[in-house]
Amino acid sequence: MTEAALIAAARQGSHRAFTGLVSLHQARVRGYIARFVSERDRVDDIAQEVFLAAFRGFPRFSGDVPVEAWLVGIARNQALVHLRSERRRREAVNGALGDALTAWRIEMLDAEIERGEDRSRDVDALGQCLGTLASDQRSLVEDHYLRRHSSAMLARQLGRGEGAVRMMLLRIRQTLRACIERRLRGEATS
């Protein structure tokens, strides 16, 4: 079934078709939210809210924008709602830095909205950028993010200090960020 057919079936109220749309778009929606939310579980909770809101609102989905853009619009609103409620929570568990980071994230999101940027493609761009990493960088990323090896564990494996491993990871993220920006700009101008 193509996406268009899924959309048509979902409009008729087929929840299975809608679930098909969820599996098609979950990576982008979750990726978009993960840019603003540190806790893995919260990312999925918010993404779930996005899809439930989308399902409830689907009969009103006009179809004049792609489903993905519509979902990202909902995700953006949910991310803002989440960040604002985080900021309101006085005794945030994250402490002062967590509070400050929340405020700066709102700043970043507001700026993106103002500039009219669609950052939902970051997740695709990152996927492509990972493929350009050198193999040792790539395996460090996989060990840390996929296998969840801590910096301490990686430091032991590599015979380096923990601080050095953290800086290696930071540099890899900087490389990836530059790559993502390049790709997004390239897409925008082409």
Partner 1 sequence: MTRENLTEWWARHLDGQRLTTEDEASLIAGLRADAALRAALVADAAVDGLLRVVTAPPQEQRAFVSGVSAFIAAQADGAEFSRRVRERLVQSRRRRVPRRRATPAVVHWCAAAMLVLTAGAVAWSLAPRTGSALPSVAVLDHRSGAVHLERTAVAIAVLDGTAVVAGDRIVIGDGAVTLRYPGDGTAIVLGPDTEVEVGQSASGVGKLLRLERGALIADVAPQPAGRPLQIRTAEGVATVVGTRFTLERGRSATVLAVTTGRVRLADPAERGILVEAGRTARADADGIHLVPEPPAVPAAVAPAIPEVLPVAPPAAPEPPVEVVTADPPSPLPPPPVAKPAEPTAADFLAREYTTPAGTTPYRLFVPRDQVAGKRYPLVLFLHGSGERGTDNAAPIKRQAAGSMVFISAANQATNPCFMLVPQCAHGTWTDAVMRQHIAGIIAELRTSYAIDAERIIITGYSLGGGGTWDQLAQNPTLYAAAVPIAGWGMGNFASFSSVPLWTFHAADDPTVKVAGTRAAVAALRTVGGDPIYTEYATGGHASGGPAYRTPGLVEWAMAQRRGVPRVGGPRLDITPLTAAARASTAQRIALSGTATADAGITAVTWTVGTEEGACVGTSEWSAKNLPLLPGPNLLRILATGTSWSASNGGSTSFSASLTVNRPPAPLKRR
Out of 65, 81, 108, 113, point to the residue binding partner 1 (CB under 8 A).
108
Q: Does residue 15 belong to the site contacting partner 1 (CB under 8 A)? A: yes
Tell me, by CB under 8 A, how many residues bind partner 1.
Answer: 80
Out of 70, 136, 137, 141, point to the residue binding partner 1 (CB under 8 A).
141
Out of 8, 26, 80, 160, point to the residue binding partner 1 (CB under 8 A).
26
Out of 69, 161, 177, 185, point to the residue binding partner 1 (CB under 8 A).
177
3-state helix/strand/coil string of the chain: CCHHHHHHHHHCCCHHHHHHHHHHHHHHHHHHHHCCCCCHHHHHHHHHHHHHHHHHHHHHCCCCCCHHHHHHHHHHHHHHHHHHHHHHCCCCCCHHHHHHHHHHHHHHHHHHHHHCCCHHHHHHHHHHHHCCCCHHHHHHHHHHHHCCCCHHHHHHHHCCCHHHHHHHHHHHHHHHHHHHHHHHHHHHHC
Out of 65, 84, 104, 188, point to the residue binding partner 1 (CB under 8 A).
104
On whether the CB atoms of residues 106 and 84 are closer than 8 A, the answer is yes
The Cα 73–Cα 138 span in angstroms is 32
Q: Does residue 62 belong to the site contacting partner 1 (CB under 8 A)? A: no
Q: Does residue 122 belong to the site contacting partner 1 (CB under 8 A)? A: yes
Q: Which two tokens stand for residue 16?
A: 């299975």
Q: Does residue 80 belong to the site contacting partner 1 (CB under 8 A)? A: no
Kindly indicate which of the ranges 59-67, 69-77, 122-130, 182-190 contains the residues binding partner 1, using the contact rule CB under 8 A: 122-130
Q: Does residue 140 belong to the site contacting partner 1 (CB under 8 A)? A: no
Out of 8, 130, 158, 184, point to the residue binding partner 1 (CB under 8 A).
130
Q: Least distance (Å) from partner 1 to the CB of residue 10?
A: 10
Q: Which lies closer to partner 1 via its Cβ, residue 65 or residue 111?
A: 111
Q: Which lies closer to partner 1 via its Cβ, residue 145 or residue 186?
A: 145
Q: Does residue 156 belong to the site contacting partner 1 (CB under 8 A)? A: yes
